[in-house]
A and B are shown apart, each in its own frame.
Chain A
């Protein structure tokens, strides 16, 4: 589903640029759809470069597909504009990372959890790199703050048999569930957990750093409500830029259609590219990269610009609660766009630990018999 959302958004941005007087050039999109088959990304990208003479490539949702494409764009010196949030620990000169880095998605969410929900957490995710690295970050922050990872449960990608994990969650009643499942597994889990929790008369707080509006709709009106979600973009962001963007989106895709963080981010990729080409007066890679650096764009998600130190973007982390109507209610956002830290080298665990001390004390009172004191 995300690939379709991203393509729709990219083409919307291309049409806007091609019909705008502000740009004296037009984009001629060349589309390829490897359909999520990882090996297909290498071939598709090589074809785009060799046969279509493409200089700039926008796309790749999963890390597995991006890692297929990077060796080619590095060897042929092209630029990949990557829209999706990812787990970090990468910094290629031939990639502009427009999605959130880990300090912009998972770190604020774990901090919020420690301060306001629980020091202990039950982790469930998909058996691949995104979850593995998210779980490592969660464990590092949570344990340094004196909390515990109660469990790490993994499902194979696409697996929808979730009953055993739902049963475990209902039996153990964890104070928080961190959901890093992707796609159908996540939807199945949220539906099944909602049904089981309702039957048991339980409320299980859930956290996610990937849920988006179109997914809420897929999950369903009841099960999709109440998930604390971290993202750089929500449809409900206030402000003229986003209001106009949502209006154009609905005019183009239908009133009951919703933009998503990854779609919006793909739109931002194309806009950042167009603005950099205009500024550089060239499509040449080095010139475009230089022109994109520190060049602020007031996007639907707010001000965004490329940090030339690591080719990731300054952007504004936000936390929201999923509410009825397949929407998010934003309850926190960073005061200003946050510098990307793809290697989490500025993550100060002692500061987070101290920060969480007070709430941990409160939690200690609540579950004293469970606490391990180190």
Chain B
């Protein structure tokens, strides 16, 4: 998948969750100028199933004491339109983890920046999540590697360092990962008996 630049917003799909007609017309005009696709959604309703690239949400339009906040979470990046700066409202807003925000009253300037920041933040969040997943995989496989090294230490009478070196070199010769070879060592109860491996 090629990463799309946060600066190219044309063709992306925005969902407007807003109430005020004047603000809706400002945002709609600006999104149209930028060549984006627009859907509108009543703030009083639960989130729609439709997948969008960004949500422009009037933070003041959703009651604090409602379950709707959680429902909006974990979807597309959210640009919050903020009128009320009371801690109670901001606390509610933080739960949504907004990707960027604009202070009301809205002007034509600012929305492009908010979109670019939101798309960039969303991309970074995805990159970070993928990175964390890779790290977690590696942590999980450490136990497997450790078990395999113990096995080789016992069966070959090697020190931990030498056993690990043997596993690493064998994995390289077999063109596989240390994690994969370790899993095989545990499965067969020793170094798997094969000469070459091509894939």
Contacting B at CB under 8 A, from A243-267, are: none
Complex interface bits, A314-353 against B, C-beta within 8 A gives 1, otherwise 0: 0000000000000000000000000000110110000000
A345 touches B108 (CB 8 A): no
Q: How far is the CA of A345 from the CA of B10 in the complex (A)?
A: 6
Answer yes or no: A89 CB below 8 A from chain B CBs: yes
Are B107's CB and A92's CB within 8 A?
yes
**Chain B 99-141 interface 0/1 with A at a Cβ cutoff of 8 Å (1 = within):** 0000000011100100000000000000000000000000000
Tell me which residues across on chain A come within 8 A of B109, comparing CB atoms: 70, 90-92
Asked if B75 is an interface residue, CB under 8 A from chain A, the answer is: no
Tell me whether B9 is interfacial, beta carbon within 8 Å: yes
Asked if A343 and B107 sit within 8 Å, CB to CB, the answer is no
Q: Given A343-B112, A345-B10, A91–B32 Cβ distance below 8 Å?
A: no
Q: In the complex, are the beta carbons of A74 and B35 less than 8 A apart?
A: no
A93 near B9 (CB under 8 angstroms)? Answer: no
Contacts across chains A and B counted by CB atoms under 8 Å: 29
Count chain B residues whose beta carbon lies closer than 8 angstroms to a beta carbon of A.
Answer: 12
> With A and B bound together, what is the CA distance between A182 and B133 in angstroms?
51
> In chain B, residues 68-82, which have Cβ atoms closer than 8 Å to a Cβ of chain A?
none
* Cβ B35 vs Cβ A91 within 8 A: no
One digit per residue, 1 when the CB lies within 8 angstroms of any chain A CB and 0 when it does not, for chain B 35-47 equals 1000000000000
User: Does B65 touch A at the CB level, under 8 Å?
Assistant: no
B194 at the interface (CB under 8 A from A): no
Question: A309 interface residue, CB < 8 Å from B?
Answer: yes
* Nearest-neighbor residue (CB-CB) of B33 within chain A: A310
Is B108 a contact partner of A346 (Cβ separation < 8 A)? no
Closest B residue to A93 by beta carbon equals B108
B residues less than 8 Å from A342 (CB atoms): 33
Nearest-CB distance from A367 to chain B (Å)?
29
- Nearest-CB residue, chain A, relative to B5: A140
* Cβ 8 A contact of B30, one of A70, A91, A346: A91
Per-position 1/0 for A84-120, Cβ under 8 A of B: 0000011111000000000000000000000000000
| Bound Cα distance from A275 to B2, whole angstroms | 50
Q: Which of B9, B10, B108 has the largest count of A CB atoms less than 10 A from its CB?
A: B108
Residues of B close to A89: CB separation below 8 A: 112
Please give the distance in Å from B135's CB to the nearest CB on chain A.
31
B34 at the binding interface (Cβ < 8 Å): yes
| A-chain residues with CB within 8 Å of residue B108 when the two chains form the complex | 90-93
Which residue from A70, A74, A93, A346 sits with its C-beta under 8 Å from B10? A346
* Bound Cα distance from A74 to B108, whole angstroms: 10
A-B contact pairs, 18 of them (CB 8 A): A90-B109, A91-B108, A92-B107, A92-B108, A92-B109, A93-B108, A309-B29, A309-B32, A309-B33, A310-B33, A342-B33, A343-B33, A343-B34, A343-B35, A343-B112, A345-B9, A345-B33, A346-B10
Residues in chain A within 8 A of chain B (CB atoms): 70, 74, 89-93, 309-310, 342-343, 345-346
Which residues on B are within 8 Å of A, measured CB to CB? 9-10, 29-30, 32-35, 107-109, 112
Since A74-B107, A310-B33, A346-B10 are in contact, a sample of 15 more A-B pairs with Cβ atoms closer than 8 Å, ordered by chain A residue number, is A89-B112, A90-B109, A91-B33, A91-B109, A92-B108, A92-B109, A309-B29, A309-B32, A309-B33, A342-B33, A343-B34, A343-B35, A343-B112, A345-B34, A346-B35
Closest A-B pairs by Cβ, 8 of them: A345-B35, A345-B10, A91-B108, A345-B34, A310-B33, A92-B108, A343-B34, A91-B33
